[in-house]
Amino acid sequence: MRANVWACAILVVGLWMTSKSDSNAEIPQSVRDSVADWHYNDCSEKAYPIDGSVQAPVKDAFCRCFADYLMDLLTDDEIVYVATYLEPTPDMVEKEQRARMTCNAFAQ
> Mind listing the pLDDT tens digit for each residue in 31-70?
999 999 999 999 888 865 555 566 778 888 899 999 999 9
**For residue 13, is pLDDT > 90?**
no
- The rounded distance, in Å, linking the Cα atoms of 53 and 66 is 19
CB 46 within 8 A of CB 58: no
Model pTM score? 0.69
Note the pLDDT of residue 49.
54
Note the pLDDT of residue 34.
93
pLDDT category at 4 given cuts 50, 70, 90 is: very low
User: For the chain, what is the domain count?
Assistant: 1
For 26, the domain range is 2-107
Neighbours of 48 (CB within 10 A): 16
